Amino acid sequence: MVGLSVGEKHFIQGGIAQDLRSDGRKRLTYRPIYVETGVIPQAHGSARVRLGATDVIASVKAELGKPSALQPDKGNIAIYVDCSPTAAPMFEGRGGEELSTELSVALQRCLLGGKSGAGAGIDPTSLVVVEGKVCWDLYIDGLVISSDGNLLDALAAAIKAALSNTGIPKVNVAADATSDEQPEVNISDEEFLQFDTSGIPVIVTLTKVGRHYIVDATSEEESQMSSAVSISVNRKGHICGLTKRGGVGLDPSIILDMISVAKHVSEQLINKLDSEIAAAEASEEES
Amino acid sequence: MRGLQLPLSQTQRIRLQRALEKLQSLSCKANSDASVTVADTIPVNYEDAFLKGHGTTDLNGDLVATVCGVVERINKLVYVRALRARYKPEVGDIVVGRVVEVSQKRWRLEINFSLDAILMLSSMNMPDGIQRRRTALDELNMRCIFEENDVVCAEVRNFQHDGSLQLQARSQKYGKLEKGQLLIVDPYLVKKSKQHFHHLEQFGIDLILGHNGFIWVGEHVEARDSMVVDQANSSEQSRVPEEKNQTHTPLEMRQNICRIANAVRVLSTLGFSIDADLILETVELSSTVKIDIHDMLGSEFHVLVAEREAERRSLMGKRKR
């Protein structure tokens, strides 16, 4: 990331204080979101999301596996993020590992719910094929191609779009399976089940610069932040996850204020994202 | 036209396509065989003796281009000038750079070239304005003039024998740039012109078009009077940041800065050459259409600018005839 001079930093902070950022946005305005689905044909579902200069790809692959003994009626979902070295020079070699782990953990917390699977954005019970024996293992991978701030929001949007693009093949189970044998499964090539993605939350990251918070910070603005809170909100307005970054402490009243601001912003974001995903899927079908 | 990453609706896509086709047809009349892509044969009279320059190679007796660009012919030299290459400096160019390192008696600046440029302490105007020998004290106080990550405007002085660049900032109008934003565009979009420092009076804004693709848009600063004041304040530096905190850029000027910056961004996305007149016209267009500053980066405004540019060029073409 390029450094900023004192004069430029001052200009950015002044802009945020006056509600007019460097590219003319208000504090709570997102950059234009551009969604493309089906970018990886070999995966069961994929999507590419561009948020200004931030560019991320998410892909979903499903494999048949065995459910864990503790939760025989639930499938397994794993989310992993990789920061490509093309995104920023500091990601070269193993430089991006810390950021990748941080992003993966934040996404898992927001989308997968607790250890028992309760409260997850993606319903794991829909992934089971034969209870206790066969279930779908979902591997969701995110790749950061170009980083200009606000990676978490872009990744969550990409995962949401990829999941709505996902088609899990239909499985026919052989009817005469005995209780301790692995049943025979027949994976159909034609029929696909679509995921219900209306319950999947989006993530809104609020970056605090000075005394104000902004939504969708560019990497220049992020360099000026004192702290950032990422809040995951679903369509009903419920909070599914909360992550705080940055060393500066925050007063609890500020956090509550940030949560209500995030809830307000998320309504527009969810609608915008859904319409972009629908448009992307429509254009994918045409081509 | 590389893929515009904008959510264009169907009608917008058609309009943009039409405008770009019109622009292409207008430019084609000039010399259509000038632009080549990799492995295109360059039309050359093989009987004349000619020199093969950069970007060409001899393949099976034909002269073939190895880069995508425009064929240039100077006397007997035939070469291909790549478009989206790094900045190629020439003596006398005005560039905007960022200080990367403060070394002994010099600053190193990054200017989007393959090497960093050097600005010697002796090539700088001293704050008190007097021409004198640089003392050891001056050398120790280099950081008072420029620090790391400062944005500086300078002129290309010459090339060193090892290929690196030397800059100079002898006149009042060069120097540190503050109170604004730096935009980065492709170097080939900034054409050579007589003037690179534009003081836009109606907005009170300085616009500096660096040849290297770094464009500075900021508040107007009077020619370096502030440098003298700074030297006097250098002992009281702790006070300066506090004063700055209270004096932010006024809102109206900030809006103008953002509007101009967005105009530059739009022109750069569409691939149009950037010069001050075009920027001002784009800003006027945005005010006549009464579009919000942020919406200038949206698809509708991009299409409008492309259409307007097609109109303007076809009018110019008609006038020439």
ipTM of the complex: 0.82
User: pLDDT band at A104, cuts 50/70/90?
Assistant: very high
- Looking at the complex, does the CB of residue A23 fall below 8 Å from at least one CB of chain B? yes
Name the domain boundary from B119, B148, B177: B177
CA distance B290 to chain A (A): 14
CA distance A124 to chain B (A): 33
Residue B313 has pLDDT above 80, yes or no: yes
Dist CA A191 CA A169 (whole Å): 6
My answer on whether B94 and B215 are in the same domain is no
Q: Pick the closest to residue B43 from B73, B23, B11, B88 (CA basis).
A: B73
In what order do the strands lie in the sheet containing B214-219?
B180-184, B214-219, B205-209, B197-200
Dist CA B104 CA A148 (whole Å): 34
In a domain, B149, yes or no: yes
Q: What is the pLDDT of residue A49?
A: 93
Average pLDDT over residues A262-287: 87
Average pLDDT over residues A145-154: 90
Query: Which residue's entry shows tokens 């996902």?
Result: A166
Name the residue among B5, B261, B296 with its Cβ closest to that of A34: B5
In a domain, B20, yes or no: no
My answer on whether B255 and B173 are in the same domain is no
Yes or no, beta carbons of B181 and A34 under 8 Å apart = no
Dist CA B270 CA B268 (whole Å): 5
CA distance A129 to chain B (A): 39
Which residue numbers of B have CB closer than 8 Å to A's CBs?
A: 5-7, 98, 147-151, 176-182, 218, 241, 244, 248-249, 251, 254-255, 258-259, 261-262, 265, 292-294, 296-299
DSSP structure string for A221-232: HHTT-SEEEEEE
Greater confidence (B19 vs A118) lies with B19
In a domain, B289, yes or no: yes
Name the residue among B179, B251, B296 with its Cβ closest to that of A7: B179
Residue B80 has pLDDT above 80, yes or no: yes
Amino acid at B88: K
Yes or no, beta carbons of A10 and B5 under 8 Å apart = no
CA distance B47 to chain A (A): 47
Dist CA A103 CA A80 (whole Å): 8
Phi–psi pair at B166, nearest 5 degrees: -115, 135
Dist CA B21 CA A97 (whole Å): 46
Q: What is the DSSP letter of B87?
A: -
My answer on whether B194 and B123 are in the same domain is no
Name the residue among B178, B251, B254 with its Cβ closest to that of A7: B178
Q: What is the pLDDT of residue A75?
A: 81
Contact A171, A185 (CB under 8 A): yes
Yes or no, beta carbons of A5 and B179 under 8 Å apart = no
My answer on whether B95 and B132 are in the same domain is yes
Residue B266 has pLDDT above 80, yes or no: yes
Name the domain boundary from B158, B177, B196: B177
Contact B140, B149 (CB under 8 A): no
- Separation of first and last alpha carbons in chain A: 37
My answer on whether B297 and B274 are in the same domain is yes
User: Above pLDDT 90, what percent of chain A?
Assistant: 25
pLDDT digits 0-9 by tens, B125-152: 766 666 667 778 877 888 888 888 888 8
My answer on whether B279 and B192 are in the same domain is yes
pLDDT digits 0-9 by tens, A155-205: 999 999 998 888 888 877 776 555 555 666 777 766 677 777 778 889 999
**Residue B181, strand partner residues:** B217
My answer on whether B65 and B140 are in the same domain is no
In a domain, B14, yes or no: no
The helix (H) or strand (E) run that includes residue A7 is helix A6-17
CA distance A274 to chain B (A): 14
Q: Pick the closest to residue B168 from B117, B119, B103 (CA basis).
A: B119
Name the domain boundary from B177, B209, B237: B177
The residue of B8, B10, B178 whose CB has the most chain A CBs within 10 angstroms, and thus the best one to mutate to test that interface, is B178
Residue of A nearest to B264 (CA): A23
My answer on whether B98 and B116 are in the same domain is yes
Average pLDDT over residues B198-220: 88
Chain B residues closer than 8 Å to A219 by CB: none
Q: Which two tokens stand for residue A63?
A: 């494999």
Chain B residues closer than 8 Å to A34 by CB: 5-7
Amino acid at B101: E
In a domain, B240, yes or no: no
Q: What stretches of A110-223 adopt beta strand conformation (E)?
A: 128-130, 134-146, 167-173, 185-194, 202-209, 212-215
- Looking at the complex, does the CB of residue A279 fall below 8 Å from at least one CB of chain B? yes
Yes or no, beta carbons of A7 and B150 under 8 Å apart = yes
What CATH number did the domain enclosing B61 receive?
Answer: 2.40.50.100
Q: Pick the closest to residue B126 from B107, B108, B145, B154 (CA basis).
A: B145
Residue of A nearest to B256 (CA): A24
Greater confidence (A257 vs A172) lies with A257
Q: Are strands B56-59 and A167-173 parallel, antiparallel or unpaired?
A: unpaired
My answer on whether B111 and B171 are in the same domain is yes
Q: How many CB atoms lie within 10 A of CB B184?
A: 15
Residue of A nearest to B219 (CA): A11
Q: Which two tokens stand for residue A277?
A: 């995903």
My answer on whether B303 and B185 are in the same domain is yes
Rg of chain A, C-alpha, whole Å: 20
The residue of A2, A22, A146 whose CB has the most chain B CBs within 10 angstroms, and thus the best one to mutate to test that interface, is A22
In a domain, B16, yes or no: no
Which 3 state secondary structure label does DSSP give A244? strand
My answer on whether B170 and B267 are in the same domain is no
- Using CA atoms, how far residue B116 sits from A53, A233, B78, B113, in Å, is 26, 47, 29, 7
Q: What is the pLDDT of residue B30?
A: 55
Residue B53 has pLDDT above 90, yes or no: no
B74-78, B248-252, B260-264, B283-287: least confidently modelled range: B248-252
Residue A46 has pLDDT above 80, yes or no: yes
Q: Are strands B205-209 and B214-219 parallel, antiparallel or unpaired?
A: antiparallel
In a domain, B315, yes or no: yes
pLDDT digits 0-9 by tens, B95-112: 999 999 998 888 999 888
Contact B149, B178 (CB under 8 A): no
CA B108 to chain centre: 19
Query: Which residue's entry shows tokens 């991006």?
Result: A96
Phi–psi pair at B153, nearest 5 degrees: -110, 130
* Domain coverage including residue B283: 178-219+250-320
My answer on whether B169 and B263 are in the same domain is no
- Separation of first and last alpha carbons in chain B: 28
Chain A residues closer than 8 Å to B259 by CB: 24
Yes or no, beta carbons of A11 and B179 under 8 Å apart = yes
Name the residue among B151, B251, B259 with its Cβ closest to that of A5: B151
- Residue contacts between A and B (CB atoms, under 8 Å): 89
Question: How many domains is chain B partitioned into structurally?
Answer: 3
What CATH number did the domain enclosing B156 receive?
Answer: 2.40.50.140
Which 3 state secondary structure label does DSSP give B278? helix
Yes or no, beta carbons of A23 and B297 under 8 Å apart = yes
- Looking at the complex, does the CB of residue A1 fall below 8 Å from at least one CB of chain B? no
In a domain, B23, yes or no: no
Average pLDDT over residues B160-164: 85
- Looking at the complex, does the CB of residue A25 fall below 8 Å from at least one CB of chain B? yes
